[in-house]
Amino acid sequence: MASEGDRRAGLEVEPRRSRVIAALNPGGGSRGVAIALVSTAVFLLAVVFAITHAPGWHEVKRTFFDWAYFKASLPEISRAFLLNVKIFSIAECFILAFALFLAVLRSLPGPVFFPLRALAIVYADFFRGVPTILVIAILGFGAPGLQMSGVPTSTTFWGIVALVLVYSAYVSEVYRAGIESVHPSQEAAARSLGLTRGQTLRKVILPQAVRRVIPPLLNDFIGLQKDTALVGTLGAVEAFQQSSIDTNATFNYTAYLAAALLFVAITIPLARFTDWLIARDRRRRQAAGVAG
C-alpha cells in the first residue's frame, strides 16, 4: 500500500502498456508468441501426464471428476450459492461504511482524540488477529445463546455480523493507507483556503484516498466472497455446506468442484475488473501528466 502513496510526476517512468497486459505478453514478436505457445503446451502436457500417471489417479478421477455427480449436484449448490451472494452483498455495504468510519477515527489528529485512535487500533489488531471462523462460531452460537428477547437467532444474520466485524478491520487499514497516501500539502492547501477540518477530509482527502485504494478494496471484497463459506459452520446451507452434504452422502468429491467453480465464476470477472480499473487509473494519470 505504501507504494501507492506519494507518487509524483517523473518519479516513475510509466510503461505504455498496463502491467497486466505486460505480464501476459510473451514479448519478442510473432516468434516469441510461437515459443510461448510451445513452451506452454509442453508444460501443460507434462503436468497432465504427471497427474494422470500418478498411482492414485483413477481413484481421484472417480471421486473428484464424476460428470454424473456434477450434473446432479449443481442445481442445488447453485440455489445454495444465492445465500453466499446475499451474505457478501449485504456484508460489503456495511463493511465499506464501517471501515471508513474506523479509518477516519484512526487518522484524527491531536492528543484529544488519542482514546478514539487507540480504540481503532485495538479493534483492527484484534479482529485481524482472530481467525474469521472463530469469530463466526463465537458470535453465531454465543449471541443467540443469551436468549435475550430481540436478539436474532438467524445464523445468516450472525454470520454477516461476524464478517462485517472482521473485514472492517482489514478494509479500515486499506482506507487508512489511502488517506495517508494523500500528500500533507493537500490538507494544508485546503485548510488555507478556509475549509474546515471536516470539509477538508470529505471534499479533498477522502475522494483521492478512496479512488487510490479501489483495487485493494476489491481484493478484500473477493476475500469476503470466499469467506462466506465459513458461515456454513453455523448450520446455514450455503454453497460449500451444500456441497459437503452431497460429498458426505455419496463419498464423492465432485460436488466440491461444482461449488469451487461457482465461486471462481464470480471472483474472476471481479479480478479482471480490478485490473481494468488499475489500468484505467494509470492511463488517466498519464493523460493528466501528473500522478495522483
Partner 1 sequence: MPRARVLPLLAAGIAAAVAAATASGAPAASCAKSSLNLVSSGTLTIGTDNPAYPPWYAGGSPKGSKWKINDPSTGKGFESAIAYAVAKQLGFTKSEVAWTYVPFNRSFAPGKKSFDFDINQISYTPARAKVVTFSSSYYDVNQAVVVLKGTKIAAVRSVAGLRPFKLGAQLGTTSYDFIKTRIRPSQQPAVFPQNAGAVQALKNHQIDGLVVDLPTSFYVTAVQVPNSKVLGQFETSRGGEHFGMVFSKGNPLAACVDQALAKLRANGTLKTIQRVWLAKATGAPVLK
User: Rule CB under 8 A: which residues touch partner 1?
Assistant: 56, 59-60, 62-64, 137, 141, 144-145, 147, 153-155, 232-237, 241, 244-245, 247-252
> Could you give the CA distance from residue 221 to residue 164 in angstroms, rounded to a whole number?
11
Q: Which of 99, 104, 285 is nearest to 205 (CA)?
A: 104
Q: Which three cell numbers stand for residue 150?
A: 430481540
Q: Could you give the maximum distance between any two Cα atoms of the chain, in Å?
A: 74
Q: Which of 199, 167, 201, 1 is nearest to 99 (CA)?
A: 167
Output the smallest distance, CB 286 to partner 1, in A: 51
> Where would I find the H helices in the chain?
19-24, 29-52, 57-64, 67-106, 114-129, 132-145, 155-181, 184-192, 197-199, 206-212, 214-227, 239-250, 254-288
Output the smallest distance, CB 173 to partner 1, in A: 31
Closer by beta carbon to partner 1, 68 or else 112: 68
Closer by beta carbon to partner 1, 66 or else 220: 66
Closer by beta carbon to partner 1, 219 or else 233: 233
Closer by beta carbon to partner 1, 15 or else 235: 235
User: What secondary structure, in 3-state letters, does 189-244 show?
Assistant: HHHHCCCCHHHHHHHHHHHHHHHHCHHHHHHHHHHHHHHHHHHHHHCCCCHHHHHH
CB 228 within 8 A of CB 263: no
Q: What is the DSSP string of 17-35?
A: S-HHHHHH---SHHHHHHH
CB atoms within 10 A of CB 84: 25
Output the smallest distance, CB 186 to partner 1, in A: 50
Output the smallest distance, CB 75 to partner 1, in A: 14
Closer by beta carbon to partner 1, 140 or else 178: 140
Closer by beta carbon to partner 1, 174 or else 236: 236
Closer by beta carbon to partner 1, 56 or else 184: 56
